[in-house]
Chains A and B, each alone.
Chain A
Amino acid sequence: MTTQTAQQALAEATNRKDAPSVVDVIAAGKPFPTEVHAEMRNTDAVVDVDQFSLWYGQTRALFEIKLEIPRQGVTALIGPSGCGKSTLLRSINRLNDLVDSVRTDGQMLLNGSPVYAPDVDVIELRKRLGMVFQKPNPFPMSIFENVVYPLRIDGENRRGLLMEACERALKAAALWDEVKDRLKHSALRLSGGQQQRLCIARAIVADPEVLLLDEPCSALDPLSTLRIEELITEISQRYTVIMVTHNMQQAARVSQATAFMYLGRLVEFGPTQSIFQTPHLDETEQYVSGRFG
């Protein structure tokens, strides 16, 4: 089955002009085969999304997503607003469980262990992932307590250890120099860019397996954006990063792989370079060049 769809896709790719457009296929309600570039097949997947669907009550937000996120480096999720990027990201750490009416289907594996199985301990699962949100959300406590929050809730109270972890995370998040003299101050008084870097520090303090970033720069000025982009590049040496972004340049600059989503489907997935320069599908090309979506 899988090979067949891949062949079909290949046929469509070589013969683009005659194939019906993605929009038409989706509008007709037909199952849509994801265009996965050859480089992205059979990689060592950290997050393996397998035919994953998600409903908010009656409305379906994700349609049989199949996506293998490669180890190390940054994978960018792009697509027009409302296409389900955040939903997909939040499905990986099951943050969507907090919404009452959510129903899921399909499977997802994080480093080989299932994410959606009845006996999965959601809290343990979330401890393996770090997440940064669109809007900086520091907690109403000191900078220090913010950074070590994930360790605190694990019951870690040894001061020296916490201090060390805090320093390491803040340095990794390029915030240490700015706040090292006021770790005891309230985190809410930091500037927006600093707050976002603080959130990144908090997300990496407990050494997550994967870092999930949901438009981490959208509330920031260009300079802060630049710093955070550099930061992401640096962090991605050690962690696998999945990042949602609306900024094409950012995706091009930072990521190694890019997935293009549209109306709850994963449309095309490939190395960033080829997605931006030689995409297989017209829609992808139009989207990345800003003429669609």
Chain B
Amino acid sequence: MSDVTQTTQATPAQTTVHRRTPFSARGEPRVWLMAMAVVVCLALIVGIIGLIVVRGSATFWQGPIDEVRLQDGSVFLGVPSVTETYQPQPDELERIEQARADGQLDNAHAFTKTGEPVRRRYFVGNRDLGQESFRWVPLWEVASIEQPKDVVLVERDEWGPFLGRVRTLRAVTDEDPNPTGQEFKPESVSDRELQSAIDTMEARRAAIARIDRTQIPRLQNQLRQLEWKLKAAHLNQERRAASADAPPAWLWWGAMVGCIVAVGGVLGLRKAVRHTNSGSRVPVAILACLLLATGSLAYLWLERPGSHKGMSDDQVTQIEQQVEAERNAILNEQSGLLTQLDDLREEDNRYRIIIEEPSLGRISPVSRSAPDDPMRLSQVVRIVPANDLSFSGRIGVYLSRWWEFLSTNPREGATAGGVYPVIVGTVTLTVLLTISVVPLGVIAALYLREYAKQGVVTSIIRIAINNLAGVPSIVYGMFGLGFFCYTLGGYIDEGPTEPTPVGSWWGLVGVLFLAILIAGACGLFVRRSGDRLPDSASRLISIGATVGWLVAVVLAFWAISSTPYFHGFFEAKLPEQTTFGGRGILWASLTLALLTLPVVIVATEEAIAAVPGSMREGSYGCGASKWQTIRKIVLPSAMPGILTGAILAMARGAGEVAPLMLVGAVNLAPALPVSTDAPFLHGDRTFMHLGFHIYTLGFQSPDSEATAPLVWTTTLLLITIVLLLNLIAIIVRARLRSRMATSAV
């Protein structure tokens, strides 16, 4: 021991190892570089989010209205937005020089210090009077700008806001339909009489909307249902007439024999089992017999002699009568509603409001084609006295606009009004997508990680799944449209287009059962026999099992897709209307589920792989089966990871637009995908989606300049909703994690 110490002490004296730390070993410059990269990334993220938040939340803020008087004497009202320098045209330059010479350029803000002219953009509205929503005004032309207290901004049903002054409110009476009627001039917008008139009008408008948009469409829908019911009855009548030809008798007998043989087989085998201890193969045999017996019995039942397909004439007549009675009842109700509606509309028509704009003294018209007829009071959504608002009043207007935005239906071809159905559509889609992708992905990942034999095939499958994540989303859209909407949806709607004849179809089913039996037997045999078989034999058997299952799956698809017993659930609606055979929220969410499947599979696989082996062993040691271990130990432990996958899938799916345009998102959906009518969730309906709505607002609206602020707001909303949905999942995950937290052992 002691000489060891001596040698170590002697070494430094003999060799002169000079240790130093080179500059490259000190990381400071790299740390600085990395920090800079992080700062750049952060700045980009904060920038984009900040921009969206600022622009998005500014949309509903009401600034003051300017009454601008130009030097040529004309006057207009406008809400100022942007002020900027510009490059005047040569002729404008001349006019500027002219004005300067005349000494009229007294506006100090009209030019910058360097002499460039300044212009300002005004939102002027009043689009139905034939002008653009925005107007650029060079400040040098402006003679004066005032902000009179009596000008208002009127938000209307149609044609965007109107800027002007409230002149009179009048009720047109029967005796004197046209000009005056009762008339009064409101002192201000907060005038009690005006407000109460607006309130009454609001109630009436709500009543009209209820009848017009809810009750009558519901009746019409019922009428259509009745028609379809009738049509279905007639189709069934025809089917009965056509189905007179009986199936080939030999098949009938064959099935009978198969049934008896099967039952006999079960009994015989059970007896045999009691004597010889043949163990595991008995379940297969019993399963086989049961399968055969079920198949034969199904055949016997469906093709029993004198079985009736379709409907008899009596039944059809009964249905006809029933439909007739119901139709009359509905028509009665409808005509009642229509008279009510007419009355309401007539009453509504009497109340007019006259709002005048200053430039030419024109009034806000009832419609574009009747410019001299003052607008109905009910066309007013909100009157904002923009220059007569306190700060709290402004905040009130701001909040009430937000509320309107979030809670009402869109107007004017989805370029104004609220986005309530859009929010509902987006949330429904995302929820549907999540609840369809998570189980699918988890099951796939479980099989891949827990059951499948790890090897070349599983590696190839993994690579394929990972690559699926990189396929452009529009491709999924095309697949969704082709497969889900047209193929699958078409099948649901009208059944197989070319059904196989009954006899051959049962032959197909027989072969299918055979394939299942062979595959099942091979599978069981290969697992139970262990290493008592030579390698080549067991390989052969396992190939047999695989091929058997493949054949079975193909045959099953074939059998299902060509069954002569299914005629679709919505046959009667065709060709007039597709149900599931067209675009809809169900297919859209399934398409997105497919798109986000790789994310879930990868995340779940990782989570499953991270479950410690000691836990599994503990479970097996307790006598748990594989499935019990997976369900009780592996899945709960992997839950946080699975939720991470779900969150990623949600985030990706909710922001996707391209595939949705193909499989179901529309500009303006006639109804919400969820409702209080059974079946509550209408998978066949088209829907609105925030992502697509942004596109619509930005590129499809006739006045895209005016809708630009709404684009920002909608973007803000989309981000918020995705964030909220994720937040829910994140909170659930955090709870799970804290439950899983280990003590310091």
Contact = CB atoms under 8 A, between A and B. Distances in A.
Interface stretch (B56-64, B155-163, B318-326, B613-621): B613-621
Q: In which size bucket is the chain A interface?
A: 35 or more
A145 B371 CA distance: 78
B741 A189 contact: yes
Most buried by B among A137, A154, A199: A137
Interface stretch (B84-92, B625-633, B711-719): B625-633
A119 B277 contact: yes
Interface string A151-162: 011100000000
A150 B623 contact: yes
Given A119-B279, A140-B636, A153-B628, A188 B741 contact: yes
A140 B739 contact: yes
A95 B743 CA distance: 28
A121 to B, nearest CB: 10
A144 B397 CA distance: 58
Contacts of B618: 131, 133, 137, 139, 199, 202
Contact of B622 (A150, A188, A195): A150
A93 interface: yes
A95 B620 contact: yes
B146 to A, nearest CB: 71
A114 interface: no
A141 B615 CA distance: 12
A95 B626 CA distance: 12
Contacts of B530: 118
Interface in A117-154: 118-119, 123-124, 126-127, 129-131, 133, 135-137, 139-141, 149-150, 152-154
A80 interface: no
A186 B628 CA distance: 20
Interface string B588-628: 00000000000000000000000010111111111111001
A28 interface: no
A190 interface: yes
Contacts of A186: 739-741
Q: In which size bucket is the chain B interface?
A: 20 to 34
A191 interface: yes
A139 B625 contact: no
A118 B743 CA distance: 43
Contact of A103 (B531, B619, B625): B531
Contacts of A126: 620-623
A136 B745 contact: yes
B527 to A, nearest CB: 11
A119 B280 contact: yes
Contact of A189 (B615, B632, B633, B743): B743
Contacts of B614: 133, 135, 137
A149 B615 contact: no
A118 B745 contact: no
A64 to B, nearest CB: 19
A153 B632 contact: yes
A22 to B, nearest CB: 32
Nearest to B625: A123
A188 B742 contact: yes
A139 B280 contact: no
Contact of A140 (B621, B628, B740): B740
B532 interface: yes
Given A186-B739, A188-B743, A131 B621 contact: yes
A27 interface: no
A191 B617 contact: no
Nearest to B280: A119
Contacts of A38: none
Contacts of A93: 621
Secondary structure at chain B's binding surface: helix, strand, loop or mixed?
Answer: helix
Contacts of B620: 95, 98, 126
B539 interface: no
Nearest to A185: B739
Nearest to A123: B625
B95 interface: no
B473 interface: no
A219 B742 CA distance: 16
B394 to A, nearest CB: 53
A119 B628 CA distance: 21
Contact of A95 (B531, B615, B621, B628): B621
Given A140-B740, A149-B632, A150-B623, A95 B617 contact: yes
Contact of B623 (A153, A189, A191): A153
Interface in A229-271: none
A141 B617 contact: no
Contacts of B528: 118
Nearest to B631: A153
A282 to B, nearest CB: 28
B280 A133 contact: no
B637 interface: yes
Most buried by B among A131, A139, A140, A202: A140
Given A118-B528, A139-B615, A199-B618, A190 B625 contact: no
Interface string A177-202: 00000000010111110010001001
B739 A133 contact: no
Given A98-B620, A126-B621, A153-B623, A139 B633 contact: yes
Given A123-B625, A133-B618, A137-B618, A191 B745 contact: yes
Given A136-B745, A139-B615, A153-B628, A127 B623 contact: yes
A210 to B, nearest CB: 12
A99 to B, nearest CB: 11
A107 B618 CA distance: 24
Interface in A97-113: 98, 103
Interface in A70-104: 93, 95, 98, 103
Contacts of A136: 745
A22 B741 CA distance: 49
Contacts of A133: 614, 617-618, 621
A119 B278 CA distance: 9
B615 to A, nearest CB: 5
Contact of A202 (B277, B622, B625): B622
Given A149-B632, A189-B741, A140 B622 contact: no
Given A140-B739, A149-B632, A203-B622, 5 more contacts: A93-B621, A118-B530, A119-B277, A131-B618, A189-B741
30 contacts: A98-B616, A103-B531, A118-B530, A118-B532, A119-B280, A123-B623, A123-B625, A126-B620, A126-B621, A127-B622, A133-B617, A137-B618, A139-B615, A139-B632, A139-B633, A140-B633, A140-B739, A141-B632, A149-B624, A150-B622, A153-B625, A153-B632, A188-B740, A188-B741, A188-B742, A189-B741, A191-B743, A191-B745, A192-B745, A202-B622
Task: Rank and list the top 3 A-B pairs by shortest CB-CB distance, nearest first.
Answer: A127-B623, A131-B621, A192-B745
Interface of A: 93, 95, 98, 103, 118-119, 123-124, 126-127, 129-131, 133, 135-137, 139-141, 149-150, 152-154, 186, 188-192, 195, 199, 202-203, 206, 219
